[in-house]
Structure 1
Amino acid sequence: MTQSLLSRRIPAEPYTQWEPGVRSPGSACGPATMAALMEYWHTRQGVAFIPGMRHFDTKAAHINNIYSRHGGRPWGMSVRSFTRGLHAYLRLAAGKDGHDGWQHTVTVFNDMERYTAEIDAARPVALKFDKWCSFRWQGDFAYNYHWVLGIGYEKPAGGKGPVLLVHDNGLRLKDGGYRPGQERRIPYLPNRNIITMVALDITRV
């Protein structure tokens, strides 16, 4: 942190929708984002009943499980499907392991201050970019239709707008290969009209 930049970043593990073994990679950004979010809560927040990678041999297997059981579709994952998938994943995991002493909340919004509050509380936020359902046909958007995991932010000085720090779920290359998921900086203001944010909180009761 410097005088010219306020920033925060969460140490979440990136996932890649294009890695070998993912059965429907072109429409797996939602499941990959959900898998990364679940793994964070299992590993970094210590919510032991969440399966995480202890129940899956690979990240691809984790993504495939979510795709087939919790809302994956060939045309992509809607916000409604994503939130319903989160509820189902967590209820199934808690019920299977007998951990009824936890409760979770899922909140849908689009507000940069709320987003920064979630990051400050060490809670990653799932971000959906969707110009089609937002009826925003024109614009210099980071993505037309894509899920990513929000893992941080930057607030530059001098009146510049805030920046989202996200894990991008990787990229398919023209030669048939892929680039693994990595961090990307995305300005919020040019994209705000097509973004939906989904926050998750898990607490003991």
Structure 2
Amino acid sequence: MKKILNINGKSQYDEDIKESFRPSACGPVTARLLMDQFPPEACPYDINELFTRLGGTKIGLVKGRFIRNMGKILGSNWTVAECDIANVKRQINNGRLIAAKFDKWFNFRWRGGYEFDYHWVPVIGYEEKEDDIELIIHDNGARNRPSQVRQVSYKKNKAVLSFVKIEPVRELQ
């Protein structure tokens, strides 16, 4: 089974993102893309504002800060929480994107052929394979690589992957 959600992706190197933020704007770009699924009043901030409000730094955005500060931005009517691969599939099946964080540095997995060393991306789908799950992501790009849809192995990257869901406590009308 293959499930893919349609989104308008964005590169963290787009011109509307403050130049000094671009090298580490993947977290705020991912947050903005997740929030674009919901009415604009849920989170009215652009990527530059999210970079600051989420606590982005020159080396990136740590997961705990993403969860805590996104929860503060959205308030008590929203759930912002870490989730597992079963919940990732459930969220995608329910039409919601998921934030994925690849992080070999703070997981102390310095060796290995992971897709990314340290990068936030939205998960827009998945495909069940015989012995793996292929995550369909919208890579936010790099200095010399445009944003693009890619498939990555969950099994190969599991040691450095974590996921964050954002959902309303009650369904929005």
Give TM-score scaled by structure 2 length: 0.90
Tell me by how many angstroms 1:135 deviates: 0.7
Whole-Å separation in 1 of the counterparts to 2:140 and 2:38: 18
1:74 corresponds in structure 2 to: 58
Identity %: 31
- Aligned-partner residue type, residue 33 of structure 2: A
Taking the aligned partners of 1:198 and 1:74, their CA distance within structure 2 comes to 21
| Residue matched to 2:151 | 185
Q: Could you tell me which residue of structure 1 aligns to residue 119 of structure 2?
A: 146
Output the amino acid matched with 1:85: N
Q: Give the match's secondary structure for 1:135.
A: coil
Query: Paired residue for 1:18?
Result: 13
- Distance in 2 of aligned mates of 1:107 and 1:160: 27
Contact 1:13-1:40 at 8 Å conserved across structures: no
Q: Deviations along 1:57-107, whole A, 9 cap, x unmatched?
A: xxxxx111101222211110000111122112213xxxxxxxxxx711122
- SS of the aligned residue for 1:108 comes to strand
CA distance in 1, matches of 2:38, 2:135: 20
Which runs of structure 2 are paired with 1:108-123 in the superposition (5 Å)?
108-109=82-83, 111-123=84-96
Q: Which residue of 2 aligns with 1:200?
A: 166
> Aligned runs of 1:1-205 on 2, under 5 Å?
6-23=1-18, 24-42=21-39, 48-52=40-44, 62-91=46-75, 103-109=77-83, 111-156=84-129, 159-173=130-144, 179=146, 181-204=147-170
The answer (yes or no) to whether the contact 1:118–1:124 under 8 Å persists in 2 is yes
Tell me if structure 1 keeps the 8 A contact 2:43–2:74.
no
Q: Which amino acid aligns with 2:107?
A: S
Range with greater deviation from structure 2 (66-75 or 125-134): 66-75
Q: Which runs of 5+ in 1 are unaligned?
A: 1-5, 43-47, 56-61, 92-101
| Higher Rg | 1
Q: CA deviation at 1:114?
A: 2.0
Q: Which runs of 4+ in 1 moved over 4 A?
A: none
Give the total of aligned pairs.
Answer: 169
**TM-score calculated relative to the size of structure 1:** 0.77
